[in-house]
Structure 1
Amino acid sequence: MRNFRHMIKEQTPLYIFVAVLFLVGVVFGALIISALTMDQQQELSDYLGNFFMTVDQHGLPAAPESFWSIAGLHLKWIGLIWILGLSVIGLPGILVLDFLKGVLIGFTVGCLVSQYSWHGLLFALVSVAPHNLVVIPALLVCSAAAIAFSLLMIRSRVTARRPLRVGRPFAMYTLLSFVMALLILGISSFETWVTPTMMRWVTPSLVQATAEYNGQ
């Protein structure tokens, strides 16, 4: 536990860096909405309207298959970040993944808000925000640890006069990624069985907003 606290304290600047990079991605993703053409916005509006209609009438499947699909998607991000952290050339890839994750979140929330105003914001709060309050910090912690280990590998191979011992840092890095993966499995359960119910509470207002928009 003391080693983990020391590692987290040392990596605080990296946490700040990856968090800022993620936020820049969120802003960029939100700004993409304004760059869409009218036809693209209409297609997006039609897709969202059909999706909300489906959720309102039939709900979303809450089954073990859905759980492993959701968990697998999140775990792939964790695993890819872990693999990229093992190599020097993987360092830029970690930064790209953090930025891309921010873009995806920003674009999703931006679409909902631009199309449905506060109704869209409410839907984002129940469908996007809850699990991402855990998923995003877990990904950023893994990213900071991966960057730190990658920098250690660079220092070991390039700048150090003698090779540094990387066995213990590797074990700490792998253990941290494993703990974050377990956390992801836990929040994936919430996303599978709780989030669909919360979404169905909100979708009637979105279906009504869609009908009013199409009737204008």
Structure 2
Amino acid sequence: MKRKSQWSQSIQVHVQNQKSLYIFITVLFMMGVIFGAVIVNTLDPAQKEGLLNYLSYFFQGLEQNSIAESEIAFQHSMGDHLKTIGLMWILGLSVIGIPVLLVFIFLKGLVIGFTVGFLVNQLSWKGLWFAFVSVVPQNLLVIPALIIVAVSGINFSILLVRNRLIHHRGTIYPQFVSFSILVTGMAVMMLLSSLFEAFISPHLMKTAVPPVGLISHLCHLYLK
């Protein structure tokens, strides 16, 4: 109980000390989401038709249980998440990684905004419901984890600059260990997200699949 209290207190101190950076990164992510949703309106009919055809095949695969097996989906998802976390950890250890981390967070928001925006734009409330069950749940873990790693990586890079190039102080090994432990903790969060995405999310998506006829009708409209 005491350890939990100390852990909770350390997290609160960390968030409070980096409050402005957390706000900045969160706003940057939200800007990416908004920009991604706006991009949907710039697609031409041919691009929309291609995306709808892809959705149609995906929805049919869900209904016919022909998508990848849960174990394989978990391996792919976890592999992608570990690569992402590992790359962000490396970027956090280098000064030049700061702008890359910022761009990465923005692009993550852009992808989510575009995905949800396209589903809502084309399928209305059915698309909103499908986006809610297919995109939102796992990202409730993924997005906070990425933001925490990005903030910690940027903070460590700034500390590295101050320590090595400005003040020429001693070791920053304790901060390196703390940063690495935090990244490991966020990797565990990614593990939980991958488990949900592979074993639970497909069942939720099956309950929200829009009628295939609706997508066929939309594709027919774009062909005119």
Shorter-chain TM-score bucket reads: over 0.9
TM value normalised by structure 2: 0.89
Residue 71 of structure 2 aligns to which amino acid in structure 1?
P
> Residue 117 of structure 1: CA displacement?
0.7
* Pairs aligned (count): 214
Residues 130-150 of structure 1 deviation map (CA, whole Å, 9 limit, x = unaligned)? 000111001000100001001
Question: 1:210: which partner in 2?
Answer: 215
Residues 96-148 of structure 1 deviation map (CA, whole Å, 9 limit, x = unaligned)? 11011011101111111111011111000010000001110010001000010
Residue 42 of structure 1 aligns to which amino acid in structure 2?
E
Residue 70 of structure 1 aligns to which amino acid in structure 2?
S
> Residue 23 of structure 1: CA displacement?
0.5
Query: Conserved in 1, the CA contact under 8 Å of 2:53 and 2:219?
Result: no
Query: Conserved in 2, the CA contact under 8 Å of 1:62 and 1:196?
Result: no
The correspondence for 2:193, drawn from 161, 173, 187, is 187
TM value normalised by structure 1: 0.92
Q: Does 1:44 align with 2:51?
A: yes
1-structure distance, mates of 2:31, 2:20: 17
Q: Does 1:105 align with 2:112?
A: yes
SS in 2 for 1:99: helix
The correspondence for 2:205, drawn from 195, 199, 203, is 199
> Residue 64 of structure 1: CA displacement?
2.0
Query: Conserved in 2, the CA contact under 8 Å of 1:126 and 1:199?
Result: yes
> Residue 62 of structure 1: CA displacement?
3.5
Query: Conserved in 2, the CA contact under 8 Å of 1:86 and 1:149?
Result: yes
Query: Conserved in 1, the CA contact under 8 Å of 2:29 and 2:106?
Result: yes
Task: Note closer, same or farther for the CA distance 1:65–1:214 as it changes in structure 2 (3 Å cut).
Answer: closer
Task: Note closer, same or farther for the CA distance 1:214–1:100 as it changes in structure 2 (3 Å cut).
Answer: closer
Task: Note closer, same or farther for the CA distance 1:206–1:77 as it changes in structure 2 (3 Å cut).
Answer: farther
2-structure distance, mates of 1:55, 1:195: 11
Question: 2:178: which partner in 1?
Answer: 172
Residue 129 of structure 2 aligns to which amino acid in structure 1?
L
Question: 2:4: which partner in 1?
Answer: none
Q: Does 1:163 align with 2:169?
A: yes
Which is worse superposed, 55-64 or 183-192? 55-64
1-structure distance, mates of 2:70, 2:219: 34
Task: Note closer, same or farther for the CA distance 1:101–1:87 as it changes in structure 2 (3 Å cut).
Answer: same
Task: Note closer, same or farther for the CA distance 1:46–1:63 as it changes in structure 2 (3 Å cut).
Answer: closer
Aligned sequence identity (%): 42
Q: 5+ unaligned residues in a row in structure 1: which ranges?
A: none
Question: 1:20: which partner in 2?
Answer: 27
2-structure distance, mates of 1:164, 1:60: 54
